[in-house]
Amino acid sequence: MTQMLIKAPDDLLALGAQWQSRDKPLRKGGAGPTDHAALKFSDHTLMVPLLSKEANDSPYRIEYYDDDRRQAVIFKEEQRLGNVIVPSRPKFYDLTTADGVPYWKIAALHSHNVLATTVLQNCIRYENKSTSCQFCAIGESLKQKTTIARKKPEQLAEVAEAAVRLDQVEHMVMTTGTPKGDDRGVKVLAECAQAIKSKVNLPIQAQCEPPSSNDWITLLHESGADSIGMHLEAVTQSVREKIMPGKAQVTVDQYFDAFRHAVKVFGRGQVSTYILAGLGDTEQDIVNMSEKLAKEGVYPFIVPFVPLQNTPLAQHPAPSGEMMKRIYQGVSSILKQHQLSTDDIKAGCAKCGACSALKSHE
């Protein structure tokens, strides 16, 4: 059977899939696409949710196809759709730093070619329910001891070099929990970007909240970051306050001030923002905000909200595939009009596109 071609995977990414065996190829806990499996379709790799409520009831079902656990077959209800490849364990996961930390605790492979890390695995907002982002699982992987609290610049440089050499990683995402201090984590991200770039030529996206001064954004660029993500997550103030009461104190206007400066420094299209659809913003709210962002040269990376285990939103419904399709169609024509494309982005989530079907609508 040929490998499956999936044209517009709106449904699969929103609903997830049931996995029919105990040994799921799953990443659990942490920031980013957790409770998902990376699956390679013939045209691209997708991060498919496997543990959400919707995934348990999903019409999609996946089963291993061979004894090596490298190929799987995907069904929608009783219809056999085709094969997907389960990426093998990256070779760099078998290495350990000189001070005894396994590389897989320092950075993870996302999709099939992205190295991803959360530099600071703590956040000033996380421990307190009145400030934490309700969708966030940043503390989970620390609890499960599958990561370390703070990644040192030299550790990241060592892992990045190995991931490029052994696993042909093509770009890197560095995110961070927000620490105390008005740089909002930029200082540590800049130190890490500099250390990585001194060891290996790997395009890097740094992700953070808007810092208090735009000079921090300039510093991040000067330190070697190629693109930057500052994530709105939700777009209307009432939803922001409900879902992420702490982060909502940073106003949308502050985000736009930081976006404008970042576009000057990094260039049009090298600045992006993550928007989670399904948290309460209407389709029109998301499309309108995307237009405002695109006009400024900021790429709106729209992702379906996936409820994660052990978070306050674990029982919150995911958006439907139909809703995602309408949003993607609206946003893709805006992207075209403003000549923004994932192909031009040097590094980061929008370039990767495994968590969203927007790329396939572009």
Looking at residue 90, its amino acid is P
Looking at residue 145, its amino acid is K
Convert residues 160-199 into a mask of x (bound to ligand SF4 by CB under 6 A) and - (unbound).
Answer: -------------x--------------------------
Using the rule CB under 6 A, is 37 a contact of ligand SF4?
no
Q: Would you tell me the crossing angle of helices 186-199 and 215-222 to the nearest 10 degrees?
A: 10
Least separation in angstroms between residue 116's CB and ligand SF4 is 5
Least separation in angstroms between residue 130's CB and ligand SF4 is 27
Is the CB of 101 or the CB of 173 nearer to ligand SF4? Answer: 173
Query: CA 162, CA 220: separation in Å to the nearest integer?
Result: 23
Using the rule CB under 6 A, is 33 a contact of ligand SF4?
yes
Identify the residue among 14, 73, 123, 355 touching ligand SF4 (CB under 6 A).
355
Residue 193 CA neighbour count, 13 Å, CB half: 28
Could you say which DSSP state residue 308 is in?
P
Least separation in angstroms between residue 276's CB and ligand SF4 is 12
Q: Strand 108-110's sheet: what is its strand order?
A: 108-110, 114-118, 171-175, 204-207, 227-229, 271-277, 298-304
Convert residues 118-157 into a mask of x (bound to ligand SF4 by CB under 6 A) and - (unbound).
Answer: ----------------------------------------
| SS3 call for 275 | strand
Using the rule CB under 6 A, is 9 a contact of ligand SF4?
no
Using the rule CB under 6 A, is 247 a contact of ligand SF4?
no
Using the rule CB under 6 A, is 110 a contact of ligand SF4?
yes
Is the CB of 219 or the CB of 304 nearer to ligand SF4? Answer: 304
Query: CA 335, 337, 339: angle at the middle one, nearest 5?
Result: 65
Contact 309, 34 (CB under 8 A): no
Using the rule CB under 6 A, is 114 a contact of ligand SF4?
yes
Tokens standing for residue 87: 């990426």
Convert residues 322-351 into a mask of x (bound to ligand SF4 by CB under 6 A) and - (unbound).
Answer: ---------------------------x--
Alpha-carbon separation of residue 347 from 109, 116, 179, 237 (angstroms): 14, 11, 24, 29
Could you say which DSSP state residue 125 is in?
T
Q: Judging by beta carbons within 10 Å of its beta carbon (0-12, 13-18, 19+), is residue 59 exposed, middle or buried?
A: middle
Query: CA 113, CA 116: separation in Å to the nearest integer?
Result: 10
Using the rule CB under 6 A, is 224 a contact of ligand SF4?
no
Using the rule CB under 6 A, is 302 a contact of ligand SF4?
no
Query: CA 284, CA 10: separation in Å to the nearest integer?
Result: 18
| SS3 call for 10 | helix
Least separation in angstroms between residue 5's CB and ligand SF4 is 20
Least separation in angstroms between residue 33's CB and ligand SF4 is 5
Contact 176, 188 (CB under 8 A): yes
Using the rule CB under 6 A, is 352 a contact of ligand SF4?
yes
Backbone angles phi, psi at 74, to 5 degrees: -115, 135
Identify the residue among 34, 52, 58, 111 touching ligand SF4 (CB under 6 A).
111
Identify the residue among 50, 55, 157, 354 touching ligand SF4 (CB under 6 A).
354
Is the CB of 219 or the CB of 244 nearer to ligand SF4? Answer: 244
Is the CB of 261 or the CB of 328 nearer to ligand SF4? Answer: 328
Identify the residue among 4, 51, 116, 327 touching ligand SF4 (CB under 6 A).
116
Is the CB of 219 or the CB of 277 nearer to ligand SF4? Answer: 277
Is the CB of 52 or the CB of 111 nearer to ligand SF4? Answer: 111
| SS3 call for 29 | coil
Strands 204-207, 171-175: pairing is parallel
Identify the residue among 32, 210, 211, 297 touching ligand SF4 (CB under 6 A).
32
* Contact footprint for ligand SF4 (CB under 6 A): 32-33, 47, 110-111, 114, 116, 173, 349, 352, 354-355
